[in-house]
Amino acid sequence: MVPIPVRCERESAGLRRQQVLDAAADCFRRHGFHSAGMAQIAREAGMSVGHIYHYFDNKEAIIAAIVDRDLARIIEILEGFRNAEDILKAMIRQISIDIDAHTDARDSALQLEILAESSRNPEVAKLARAKDEVGRRLLCDTIANGRLQRGLPPLQAPELAARVDVMIALFEGLNCRGVSHPQLNRDQVSAVLGKVVRQLLED
Amino acid sequence: MVPIPVRCERESAGLRRQQVLDAAADCFRRHGFHSAGMAQIAREAGMSVGHIYHYFDNKEAIIAAIVDRDLARIIEILEGFRNAEDILKAMIRQISIDIDAHTDARDSALQLEILAESSRNPEVAKLARAKDEVGRRLLCDTIANGRLQRGLPPLQAPELAARVDVMIALFEGLNCRGVSHPQLNRDQVSAVLGKVVRQLLED
Amino acid sequence: MVPIPVRCERESAGLRRQQVLDAAADCFRRHGFHSAGMAQIAREAGMSVGHIYHYFDNKEAIIAAIVDRDLARIIEILEGFRNAEDILKAMIRQISIDIDAHTDARDSALQLEILAESSRNPEVAKLARAKDEVGRRLLCDTIANGRLQRGLPPLQAPELAARVDVMIALFEGLNCRGVSHPQLNRDQVSAVLGKVVRQLLED
Amino acid sequence: MVPIPVRCERESAGLRRQQVLDAAADCFRRHGFHSAGMAQIAREAGMSVGHIYHYFDNKEAIIAAIVDRDLARIIEILEGFRNAEDILKAMIRQISIDIDAHTDARDSALQLEILAESSRNPEVAKLARAKDEVGRRLLCDTIANGRLQRGLPPLQAPELAARVDVMIALFEGLNCRGVSHPQLNRDQVSAVLGKVVRQLLED
DNA sequence: GATGAATGAGTTTTCATTCAT
DNA sequence: TATGAATGAAAACTCATTCAT
Q: Alpha-carbon distance D27 to D33, whole Å?
A: 8
Selected residue with higher pLDDT from A94 and D49:
D49
**Is the pLDDT at A2 greater than 80, yes or no?**
no
Give me the tens of pLDDT residue by residue for chain C, a chain 203 residues long: 444 444 555 677 788 899 999 999 999 988 888 889 999 999 999 999 999 999 999 999 999 999 999 999 999 999 999 889 999 999 998 887 888 888 887 788 899 989 988 887 888 889 999 999 999 999 999 999 999 999 999 999 999 999 999 999 999 999 999 999 999 999 999 999 999 999 999 98
What's the burial of B186, exposed, middle or buried (CB within 10 Å: 0-12/13-18/19+)? middle
B113-119 average pLDDT score:
88
At B119 the pLDDT is: 82
In this prediction, residue C10 carries a pLDDT of: 62
* Residue D7: CB less than 7 A from any atom in strand F: no
* Residue C119 with chain D: CB contacts under 8 Å: 32, 105, 108-109, 112-113, 179
Q: So what's the pLDDT on residue D6?
A: 40
Task: Return the pLDDT at C97.
Answer: 83
Q: Is the pLDDT of residue B7 over 50?
A: no
How close is the nearest chain C Cα to the Cα of D33, in Å?
Answer: 10
> Does the pLDDT value for residue B130 go beyond 50?
yes
pLDDT score of D4: 39
Residue B186 has pLDDT above 50, yes or no: yes
Which pLDDT does position A140 carry in this prediction? 96
State the nucleotide closest to D47 in CA–C1' terms.
F6
Q: Mind listing the pLDDT tens digit for each residue in A112-122?
A: 889 988 888 88
Tell whether the model's pLDDT for residue D8 goes beyond 60.
Answer: no
D159, C188: Cβ pair inside 8 Å?
A: yes
Nearest amino-acid residue to F11, taking CA and C1': A37
A touches B, CB cut-off 8 Å, minimum 3 pairs: yes
- Closest in B30, B129, B176 to A169, CB measured: B176
Lowest mean pLDDT among A12-16, A131-135, A140-144, B197-201: A12-16
Predicted local confidence at residue A12, as pLDDT: 77
Average confidence score pLDDT of chain A = 89
Is D77 in CB contact (< 8 Å) with chain C?
Answer: no
Q: What is the pLDDT of residues A183-196, one digit of tens each?
A: 999 999 999 999 99
Tens digits of residue pLDDT in D22-51: 999 999 988 888 889 999 999 999 999 999
Q: Which nucleotides of F are covered by protein (CB under 7 A)?
A: 1-21
Give the model's pLDDT for residue B101. Answer: 81
In terms of Cβ atoms closer than 10 Å to its own Cβ (0-12, 13-18, 19+), residue D43 is middle
In the CATH scheme, what is the homologous superfamily, with its name and number, of domain D1-56? Homeodomain-like (1.10.10.60)
Q: Where are the domains of chain A?
A: 1-56, 60-202
pLDDT of amino acid C14: 84
Alpha carbons A146 and A201: distance in angstroms, whole number = 9
Q: Average pLDDT in the A42-66 region?
A: 94
Residue that wins the pLDDT comparison between A51 and A31:
A51
pLDDT tens digits along D80-117: 998 899 999 999 988 878 888 888 877 888 898 899 88
- Selected residues 134-173 of chain D with any CB under 8 Å from a CB in chain C: 136, 158-159, 161-163, 165-166, 168-173
DSSP string spanning C89-156? HHHHHHHHHHHHHHH-HHHHHHHHHHHHHHTT-HHHHHHHHHHHHHHHHHHHHHHHHHHHHHTPPPPP
Q: How far apart are CA A170 and CA B96, in angstroms?
A: 17
Q: What is the pLDDT of residues C152-176, one digit of tens each?
A: 999 999 999 999 999 999 999 999 9
Name chain B contacts of A165, Cβ cutoff 8 Å: 177, 181, 184-185, 189, 192
Mean pLDDT of all residues in chain C? 90
C114: nearest Cα among C6, C189, C194, C21: C21
Instruction: Inform me whether the pLDDT recorded for A54 exceeds 80.
Output: yes
Pairwise CB contact (< 8 Å): D120 & C168: no
In angstroms, how far is CA C130 from the centroid of its own chain?
12
Q: Which of D164, D180, D197 to mutate to test the interface with C (most CBs of C within 10 A)?
A: D180
Element (H, E) at A85: none
**Is A64's pLDDT higher than 60?**
yes
| Global pTM value | 0.86
CATH code of C60-202, in short, is: 1.10.357.10
Closest nucleotide relative to residue A51's CA, C1' based: E6
Chain D nearest-CA distance from C13, in A, is 31
The whole-angstrom distance between D116's CA and the closest CA on chain C is: 6
Interface check for D132 against chain C (CB to CB < 8 A): the answer is: yes
Closest approach of D119 to chain C, Cα-based (Å): 6
Please measure the distance between the N-terminal and C-terminal CA atoms of chain C and give it in whole angstroms.
62
Q: Amino acid letter at D136?
A: R
Residue C9 has what pLDDT?
58
Q: Which nucleotides of E are covered by protein (CB under 7 A)?
A: 1-21
Contact A30 B120 (CB under 8 A): yes
Rg of chain B over all Cα atoms, to the nearest angstrom: 20
Average pLDDT in the B110-133 region?
88
Element (H, E) at C58: none
Q: If you average pLDDT over residues B46-53, what whole number do you get?
A: 95
Is the CB atom of residue C35 positioned under 7 angstroms from any atom of strand F? yes
Chain B: list its partners (3+ Cβ pairs within 8 Å).
A
Identify from A115, A134, A139, A193 which residue to disrupt to test chain B contact, counting B C-beta atoms within 10 A and taking the largest count: A115
Percent of chain A with pLDDT over 90: 67
